[in-house]
Amino acid sequence: MIYAIYGSDTYRGWKKLNQIIEAYRAKAGAYIDLHWFDAKVDNLEELKAMMDVQSLFTPKKLVVVRNALSEEMTHIFDHAKGWKDAKDQHLVLVHEALDAASKKQLKVWEKVLTQSQEFEQFEGAKKEAWIRSEAMERGVSLMPDQVRSLAASVSDSWAAVQGIEKIAVGGETEQAASFGPSASVFDLGDAFFTDKKRALGILHRLLEKGEDEFGLFSYLVNRSRVLVVVKQCAEQHKAVPSWLGIHPFVAKKTESLARGLSLAQCGAFMSRFFEEDGRIKIGLSQPKESMIRILTGEEIR
């Protein structure tokens, strides 16, 4: 299968990409053979070799290529053609707004595409309808004047989603009253895994205060790892090994946090952070977007 996702509305594009990844995850089971490339940055010889070789051990494979409708991908076309009708090999070509050169490349790839979808920014009534739909999907009820105001004040769907989430946690006034200026990264670490609504409010508050989004994301990545280790030790009725370097106070606090979560849930959080970390490293996402995506995505079960 070969998919193409492109257009200036990157939020809706990445949302579609996440749906493809989740569908693949459901079919692939425990082992996820997921690969990321950036056609503008990475050496594509590895991608070419991957197209030519079929592994006996990992028959299901998903490859995502960013900046895929660029000239750098021209020599990949002949190697990818065999994936068009393959059921277990999935190639997703991701590109943002098209220029003349990328439109030309799209014409070439259309010969082998299984499916393609363009995502352009909405305007006017379509934008308002999309905001209402997105809010309903998140369980957020918006008044007509809130929809109109939000549509008029944001230029893209990423900003619209952040606006919806701010309204969901009570807006600026309620946020300030609920979390105050003293909200810290530690408050975010406590709420992120157990209280979505509170975590979103704290996250927005910290970002507005000027907290570094890369630092926040790195903290949460480490927090998710510690959560898995502590939960696993707790289920085995074992103490957290000292060689792991987890301070006893942190271990005790994390064990209390983990009581309301299953080991599978803890592992799922860590897996999501791992995937988002990969997107950030190759430029597919920013830490702020990744943290919001994890919090507002499908419920982790």
Count the alpha carbons within 13 Å of 73 in the hemisphere toward its beta carbon.
Answer: 27
Q: Does the pLDDT at position 301 exceed 50?
A: no
Per-residue pLDDT reduced to its tens digit, 111-126: 889 899 999 988 889 9
pLDDT bracket for residue 29 (50, 70, 90): low
pLDDT bracket for residue 61 (50, 70, 90): confident
Q: Which of 208, 282, 211 is nearest to 14 (CA)?
A: 282
Averaged confidence pLDDT in the chain: 81
Q: Does the pLDDT at position 227 exceed 80?
A: yes
pLDDT at 183: 62
Backbone angles phi, psi at 52, to 5 degrees: -85, -25
Which two tokens mark 20?
A: 């493809």
Q: Does the pLDDT at position 218 exceed 80?
A: yes
pLDDT bracket for residue 3 (50, 70, 90): very high
Mean of pLDDT values over 40-55: 78
Q: What does DSSP say about strands 89-95 and 61-66: parallel, antiparallel, or unpaired?
A: parallel
pLDDT at 264: 87
Pick the more confident residue, 113 or 183: 113
The domain defined by 177-296 carries CATH number 1.10.3720.10: no
Mean of pLDDT values over 232-256: 80
Pick the more confident residue, 79 or 168: 79
pLDDT bracket for residue 299 (50, 70, 90): very low
Annotation: CATH topology of 2-118: Rossmann fold (3.40.50)
Mean of pLDDT values over 235-248: 78
pLDDT at 251: 80
Ordered by start, the domain boundaries in the chain are 2-118, 123-168, 177-296
Pick the more confident residue, 55 or 290: 290
pLDDT bracket for residue 170 (50, 70, 90): low
Mean of pLDDT values over 80-95: 84
Mean of pLDDT values over 255-269: 86
pLDDT bracket for residue 78 (50, 70, 90): confident
Count Cβ atoms below 10 Å from residue 155 Cβ, excluding itself.
8
Count Cβ atoms below 10 Å from residue 2 Cβ, excluding itself.
22
Q: Does the pLDDT at position 134 exceed 70?
A: yes
Q: Which of 144, 164, 113, 87 is nearest to 5 (CA)?
A: 113
Q: What percent of the chain has pLDDT over 70?
A: 89
Per-residue pLDDT reduced to its tens digit, 193-217: 888 888 888 888 888 778 888 888 9
Mean of pLDDT values over 262-282: 86
Residue 146 near residue 167, CB atoms below 8 Å: yes
